[in-house]
A and B are shown apart, each in its own frame.
Chain A
Amino acid sequence: MAQGVRTMSEIVLFKNIQKNGPELFPAGAAAIPACGYDDYVKNGGYQGARKALKMAPLEVQQVVKDSGLRGRGGAGFPTGMKWSFVPMDFKGQKYLICNCDEMEPGTFKDRALVYGDPHQLIESMIIAAYAMQMTQGFIFIRCEYRKGARILEQAAAEALNHGWLGKNIQSSGFDFHLDVHLSAGRYICGEETALLNSLEGKRANPRSKPPFPQVYGFLGSPTIVNNVETLCNLPHILARGAQWHKSLGLNGNAGTKIMGASGRVKNPGLWELPLGTPMREVLNEHAGGPSRGKSFKTVIPGGLSTPMMTPDQFDTPLDFDSVAKAGSRLGTACLIAFDEDDCMVAATANIMKFYMRESCGFCTPCREGIPWIYETVKAIAEGKGEEGDLAVLDDMARHIFHTFCAFAPGAQGPLLSAITTFRHEFEFLIQKSQCHTAGGAS
């Protein structure tokens, strides 16, 4: 067994899910029964929140700061520090928002948490809300997760019945109201400021920062937007302490991370592993290695919006800093694997189609540049490439970095690495009008 695999006791986020079902995704997530209130409490649920409500809000913030928890929404921003920007002396309503938009391709970790263990998320939100004295919360959930929204609503009703939501929760004097908002369904709605606009009933265009949501967020009030997975760590941190959480990761990283794999792997799935687990271990031991008996050609580590990594980089530990040092980003740590027979030009066309479709249309390089990139890559993939196409791709790949939000730089990640690392595939197709893999296409 490789060093990364831990005993069950440290698998905290998935504990209830694993107890309730033999596998995470037996035949589709719909098959997993959500863990109900009684089971949740039996397994130690709501202990973290109970503890938090007895502490001072700033003490709770301090525990989170000390735990070294970093955001799991993709950017890895230290959660405790983010919380500390909320002006605690603000007189009006402050808001806590859970980001469950999860439209990052290849990423389905938040879904597992919501569908499998909704009370864990609710307890998490109570802790975060109490720490920042936010009396209204929203769970902003992707519209394809309609069933998840229903599961959450049901769990919230149970929590309300048991005095964990609403007025004066558990006689602590603290009020917390929680609403589930089903998104209309756009990738950009996951970007936190576009999310806020969307929640306000406006067009889902991002806002310029500063001001940051912590100060000027939902309806202009201080607001914290945290990812589902980020939040779900809180009950365990509160229950077992900051030091315990810190000790979970490898090489000085704090906590566990839900890692995933999809694409050309034998066993696509999700695993809760120590932050810092090497990519090779995830690919080979958990995901069972390449699916078609071929060797891996490349892996996109963080969902789709991160640069591709090649087999010589597979020993990179999957943590924020190590992956950044290797020239990519950890992102959601949900790996997308490609093997030798995959045509990277066709794959790039497919990738760019996603970004073209999902652009919010606010700023020029993203709105105009990405469709042009897509058309160009598609033409090359179809054997209709022309001389000069690569120059266009080179120009535009650099160009789309300077946009209004991080969406287009996300698109740049896979694009720039594809036209650099697999340039020969593009050149071959332009010259020969057919793929060098001869017949392989993703």
Chain B
Amino acid sequence: MNNAPGPTIIMDTRSTTTRSVRFSINGVARDATIETCVTLLDLLREEFGLTGTKKGCDHGQCGACTVLIDGKRINSCLVLAVSRDGAEITTIEGIGSPDKRHPVQEAFIRHDALQCGYCTPGQICSAIGLISEGRARTREEIREAMSGNLCRCGAYIGIVDAIEEVLVALRGKPVP
């Protein structure tokens, strides 16, 4: 809480530092001049209007803001945008194409791996990151490695089913 008894917050109320950044977002070069305190999540949502990436906690605890930076899944709310200047970022808007959805997106629909849909973009980005990491082989490993992405609707079983199906299709053999 802001007004809890304790040391006074010391903040320089006068200066704001801005910096120019350039990202490749979903294959498109995007420039912005931003304050250094702006997170990648807020940059995507407020500046670039890419609201497919969700804000669920702003503390790296729910995973709704998961995007892929240089192919790796990461909580964009924990990344100061200026710290990843020049990075290649993929958000849910860049997954699949307008006429052909990504196999993970299709599997999510088929297995009803969503209800309200708010955690879904983060789940899908996380799942794609997980698959490319190549570590998860069993259902138990999928569950463990997907536990950074909370789903309050409780669609976890569908989420694991969907990811398992994509993994099986990639490997051509069932997941133990």
Are A and B associated in one complex?
no
Residues of B bordering A, CB below 8 Å: none
Residues of A bordering B, CB below 8 Å: none
